[in-house]
């Protein structure tokens, strides 16, 4: 049986770029099964989460599963998923993540997360609103601390998942495809590269280094201080 796929990421990390790449190049469906918005499941309740996932057990599903949840939410599910799923975590330069997330939340209706005037205010703002449903630690934290916690959790040594670097997917697309082909144990059927017109959620530039247009020197120093242990 072909492997089902789960793509996990922090918001605005190239989630749909990876999903659309796998869909186009390995004959999966771009219509995702979104664990972020699934049938009133409490992902903090492992038994409820496991029961919901059991409906997909024992059969191939061509839709790619997607989640923005922090590691502690999905950790109890991993042992049961490994036989039938390949799990990918896509990670992007946190400065571009924060910039894209800032632009994104300012386009949404109030209530999803902080909406600020500058990126500097955004990375220092307390995480709040609808986005907090994905973070396991509900103690007050800034938006940048929230990203650090997500990345740290999914980069623990020994996790049975596969990491994809957004920048490498962007600049060395064919090389990353070959690595994914080995993980899925199936050949690449197309090397076409998804465009911003592919299914996504309010795509922005999809470039590398856009943060340089918005970060001040003080913002970059703050970012470096909070992220030096993981970078």
pLDDT, tens digit (0-9, with 9 covering 90-100), for 207-222: 899 999 999 999 999 9
Predicted local distance difference test score (pLDDT) of residue 142: 98
Predicted local distance difference test score (pLDDT) of residue 109: 87
Predicted local distance difference test score (pLDDT) of residue 25: 96
Residue 37 has pLDDT above 80, yes or no: no
Cβ(151)–Cβ(91) below 8 Å: yes
Task: State mean pLDDT over 19-23.
Answer: 96
Q: Residue 131's closest CA among 111, 150, 107?
A: 111
Task: State mean pLDDT over 2-18.
Answer: 96
Task: State mean pLDDT over 201-211.
Answer: 76
| Alpha carbon separation from 23 to 12, 62, 107, 221 (Å, rounded) | 19, 9, 27, 38
Task: State mean pLDDT over 153-160.
Answer: 95
Q: What sign results for the dihedral spanned by CA atoms 35, 38, 40, 41?
A: negative
Predicted local distance difference test score (pLDDT) of residue 52: 94
Q: In what order do the strands lie in the sheet with 85-91?
A: 29-34, 63-67, 4-8, 85-91, 162-165
* Cβ-Cβ contacts under 8 Å for 45 (sequence gap 6 or more): none
Predicted local distance difference test score (pLDDT) of residue 192: 87
Share of the chain above pLDDT 70, in %: 94
Tell me the longest C-alpha to C-alpha distance in the chain.
53
Task: State mean pLDDT over 101-105.
Answer: 96
The SS3 of residue 165 is: strand
């Amino acid at each position: 049986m072909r492997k089902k796929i789960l793509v996990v990421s922090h918001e605005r990390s190239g989630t749909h770029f990876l999903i659309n790449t796998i869909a186009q190049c390995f004959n999966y469906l771009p219509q995702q099964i979104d664990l972020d918005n699934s049938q009133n499941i409490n992902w903090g309740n492992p038994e409820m989460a496991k029961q919901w996932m059991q409906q997909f057990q024992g059969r191939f599903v061509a839709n790619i599963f997607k989640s923005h949840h922090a590691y502690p939410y999905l950790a109890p599910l991993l042992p049961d998923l490994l036989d039938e799923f390949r799990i990918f975590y896509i990670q992007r330069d946190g400065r571009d993540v924060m910039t894209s997330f800032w632009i994104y939340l300012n386009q949404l209706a109030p209530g999803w997360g902080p909406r600020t005037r500058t990126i500097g205010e955004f990375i220092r703002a307390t995480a709040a609103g609808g986005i907090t449903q994905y973070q396991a630690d509900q103690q007050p934290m800034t938006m940048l601390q929230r990203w650090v916690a997500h990345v740290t959790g999914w980069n623990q040594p020994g996790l049975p998942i596969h990491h994809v670097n957004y920048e490498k997917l962007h600049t060395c697309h064919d090389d990353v495809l070959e690595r994914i082909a080995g993980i899925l144990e199936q050949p690449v059927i197309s090397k076409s590269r998804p465009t911003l017109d592919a299914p996504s959620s309010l795509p922005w530039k999809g470039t590398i280094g856009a943060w340089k247009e918005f970060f001040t020197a003080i913002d970059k120093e703050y970012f470096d201080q909070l992220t030096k242990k993981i970078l």
